[in-house]
Amino acid sequence: MSTSDEESQTPISEELTPSQDVTNSYNTEEELNPFFQAVNIEEESVSSTPSQATKSRKSRKSRKSSNPRGWSSYFDETSPEQYTFVGYYKHRLEQSDFKNSYQSESYKLKMNLESLMSHGTSEKKAAAAKLEKNRRGIRRIDSELNDLWKQIEPKTENQNKSTRKRKVDNDEFANTIEGDYLVIMFQKKDNSTTLKTILLNYANESSSTYEIARSYIMDLSPSSKIKDEFSDEQWKELIEKPSVCQIPYHDEIKPIIEHLFGEKGITLEKARTKWYTLRNIPTPEYQDDDSYLKKDWNKILRWVERVIGQFLDAFESPKNPLQRCDEREWTGDYISPLIVGALKMDGNCRVPWGEITVLASQRRRNEDKEALTEHLERGHQVDILCQYETHEIFCALVSGGPQKNDLTKISSDNYNLPRIMKDMLDNIHSHFNDINKDGKNLFVIAVQIIMSEIRIYLIEKREVYFLRFLKCIQLPLDFSSYNRLEVALNCAWDIRSMVNVIINELTLEPDDGYETPTGSIMKTETTPEKKPKLCELFLECAVS
């Protein structure tokens, strides 16, 4: 798979189409809207009095929603040095197209700022850049902004939508959003059908006993078969990913990437020369919001140096080991430096590799057993496991070496990986419940490695468990595809940064009573008993 320059600059969250063509972007640029953008509703304003609500509605209708310049009139009516988040949102309140959703309005602000930074005056560009730099997460640290949105946001938002003719014919589709929590319901005249019910109905109709929907896991990958249960509009809302996946964390290592891969048509000798001079790259200006410590820049250089060096050594060898290495050599010499090296860089986690037992899986398998009298089951094993204190937050499964295509192992990993991720997430949720802490922002990352392909997944808990396919990349097996390492380094850095987001959630102090409770943990189905294959039965008969 050839890698374009544009692909290397995209966030890890941009989905790709199924394996038939993993180089094509799954989402268009227009589709990258905020996570589960709230629907527009027509209900009473959340102003403090009825008269204020009526006045607000009349005012919104009397104002224009946009101007021909491509940004809100707020940025023309206000001097650049006085741009503020609170001022902008108060101005937006008077617009006819204002939505009572922070996610929606934050995305509109992002579009406004990008337009200003592209076409505004130098003063507006500078002020817009300052706002954009602080936009992500500003609500958590700006109490005035948070108080404003608490007055704006309704408890629920409902809007009827048409649905596809299938099991939900003549239903009304409604989105219910409380804070960042998502509940999607298909309301009928006599009853309501939730995502949980739809998922279980789908699982019961499936002929496969190895269906992850039986464990309340909804597969939101491009090739998911459950897609047919929803309308196109509903599916589009379901597959929108959290903002944590849309941040291009890898911009922090851009100087290294440009040094190694900036030159077109590079030769093997030139690539080795650039590798030798890697530590001569000037240290970039450190920003307060960088995810690494200022003193750790040399650690990053050494990590990249080892990853690239392993592949260059293979390419220079008369007998390229990548053409015949087994799973253990592939994992230890090439996968581990890339992924384990990135995860261990900050010194926060243990990241063993080999055959590692997932304790969360072991706990789930034995939760209903009497440990003192019954035989206990072992947990699932993974090839890479990232542990922060007692929490397992990342794992990887390797389905053979780069030249081996074991369909049975791949199918087994396809079934086990989502369940392992769910076990890990459930274990963290259980801990959060014990300490009365809100876990709505929790998620778990995992990768599946099939031959030279790395597939990246995320699972999070909403009404059911959402399994999201983030990206698929290829590692090079010869120098002709050397530029694939550019995307691989970017993705490994993005994984490290998202793991740090999880760690940040784990280290935050518990809330003193939170409004949005953590959802109850749903049971994972026991693995079906495996039946011997026909060839094994014939062999037994022949022996007997």
Q: What is the mean pLDDT of residues 14-27?
A: 38
CB of 359 within 8 A of CB of 392? yes
pLDDT band at 178 (very low <50, low <70, confident <90, very high): very low
d(C-alpha 484, C-alpha 42), whole Å: 49
The two tokens of residue 426 are: 């459930």
Give residue 542's pLDDT band: very low, low, confident or very high (50, 70, 90): low
Report the pLDDT value the prediction gives residue 448, as an integer from 0 to 100: 96
Segment 94-121, tens digit of pLDDT: 887 888 878 778 878 888 888 888 788 8
Would you call 456 helix, strand, or coil by DSSP? strand
What's the alpha-carbon Rg for the chain, to the nearest Å?
A: 25
The pair of structure tokens assigned to 185 is: 């319901």
What are the tens digits of pLDDT across the range 453-472?
A: 999 999 999 889 999 999 99
- Domains of the chain, by residue range, sit at 50-152, 300-507
76-80, 205-209, 260-264, 531-535: which range is least confident on average?
A: 531-535
Decide which of 434 and 525 is more confident.
434
Q: Which amino acid is at 491?
A: C
Residue spans of alpha helices (H) in 367-483 = 407-434
* Average pLDDT estimate for 148-163: 55
Residue 48 scores a pLDDT above 50:
no
Cα–Cα nearest to 238, from 215, 212, 220: 220
The correct CATH number of 300-507 out of 3.90.1570, 3.30.420, 1.25.40, 1.10.3470 is 3.90.1570
State residue 454's pLDDT score.
96
> Are the CB atoms for 516 and 440 separated by under 8 Å?
yes
Phi and psi at 357, nearest 5°, equal -80, 130
Dig out the tokens for 481 from the structure: 């595809």
Between 51 and 486, the higher pLDDT residue? 486
For residue 17, the model assigns a pLDDT of 37
Q: Would the pLDDT of 180 be above 50?
A: no
DSSP 518: P
Which pLDDT belongs to residue 134?
83
By mean pLDDT, which of 1-5, 394-398, 473-477 is the weakest? 1-5
Instruction: Tell me the pLDDT band of 307, cut-offs 50, 70 and 90.
Output: very high
pLDDT band at residue 492 under the 50/70/90 scheme? very high
Average pLDDT over residues 264-276: 93
Q: CA separation (Å) from 107 to 35, 158, 242?
A: 10, 21, 12
Check pLDDT > 60 for residue 34: no
User: 169 pLDDT band (50/70/90 cuts)?
Assistant: very low
Token duo for residue 52: 């204020």
- Predicted local confidence at residue 511, as pLDDT: 52
What local confidence, expressed as pLDDT, does residue 538 receive? Answer: 60
* Confidence tier at 357 by pLDDT (50, 70, 90): very high
Give the tokens for residue 87: 């001022």
d(CA 363, CA 264): 51
Q: Which of 268, 256, 358 is nearest to 312 (CA)?
A: 268
Kindly indicate the confidence band of residue 376, based on its pLDDT and cuts at 50, 70 and 90.
Answer: confident
Q: Which of 61-70, 252-261, 281-290 has the highest average model confidence (pLDDT)?
A: 252-261
pTM across the whole model: 0.63
Largest distance between two CA atoms of the chain = 90
- Which pLDDT value is given to residue 543? 61
